[in-house]
Amino acid sequence: MNGRDPMLEELFAPLSGEYGPTDNDRRDMDARIRARLYAPALASAAGESKAWAGLLSRPWAWIGFGALLLTGAVATMTASPSSKVESAPQVPVVAPNVAAAPSAEPSPSVPVVSIDALPTAAPVKRTVTVKSAAPAEDALARETRLLGRSNLAANAGELGEALRLLDEHAREFPQGVLADERAVERVVLLCRMGRKTEASREADAFLATHRGSPLRARVASTCAASSGTASTEGTP
């Protein structure tokens, strides 16, 4: 290598024909440029001024100085890329409007009432419903059973048991469906038991209140027929 900077030679090439510097001039200019670019510091300000004064007195010195500036600019642009980065525009941050929650209204205070101040409830009257001994449909069945048992007892010769069952029927069903049949059967039993006076009295009472009853013939067939009422009216 000849120690020359290729970049400087390329810059000086178009001007060499016009000004015609010698090789010594080039070497001297090259040395001075290197001293300017790479020396850490100049020995003194006076020496630097003297050197630059001698350098700029030559005709081609201004061309070299321009090349020096151009070389420094190129070196600076080549060595470090542009660090200027366009910053993104700042977007203003708008705080969201937070609607203030409506303040809760204070709940009304609950009045406190003493238990002694409360009105006293009136006592509830409970109505007790007493069910009948048997429903209506069962009552007729009960009447039928009592009279049936009385007839069975009479046929068996148990006249007292038969009369007792008729009296039980009269107590439970005084106005029952079979009340007329019970009255007639009672007259029959009293006659069989020899209690003619009682039989005649009950026969007269029945005939007086049941003038159109088909059971009058049954009464007329008993011992009570010899009595006044029974013998007079007889069967219808």
What pLDDT sits at residue 198? 95
- pTM summary value: 0.41
Return the CATH fold of 136-233.
1.25.40
What's the half-sphere exposure (Cβ side, CA atoms, 13 Å) at 121?
A: 4
| pLDDT per residue as tens, the chain (236 positions) | 455 667 766 766 665 555 556 777 778 877 877 777 665 554 554 555 565 555 555 554 545 555 555 555 545 555 454 444 455 556 556 555 555 555 556 566 666 767 666 677 666 666 666 555 556 679 999 999 999 999 999 999 999 999 999 999 999 999 999 999 999 999 999 999 999 999 999 999 999 999 999 999 999 999 987 655 554 444 44
Residues 6+ apart with CB under 8 A from 36: 68
| CA–CA distance, 169 with 146 (Å, rounded to integer) | 6
Sign of CA dihedral 132, 133, 136, 140: negative
Six-digit token string for 128: 């007790």
What pLDDT sits at residue 166? 97
Provide the residue ranges of all domains of the chain, joining segments of one domain with +.
6-78, 136-233
CA distances from 141 to 20, 92, 204 (A): 162, 104, 29
Q: Do residues 162 and 190 make contact, with C-beta atoms less than 8 angstroms apart?
A: no
Nearest by Cα to 143 from 105, 120, 161, 170: 170
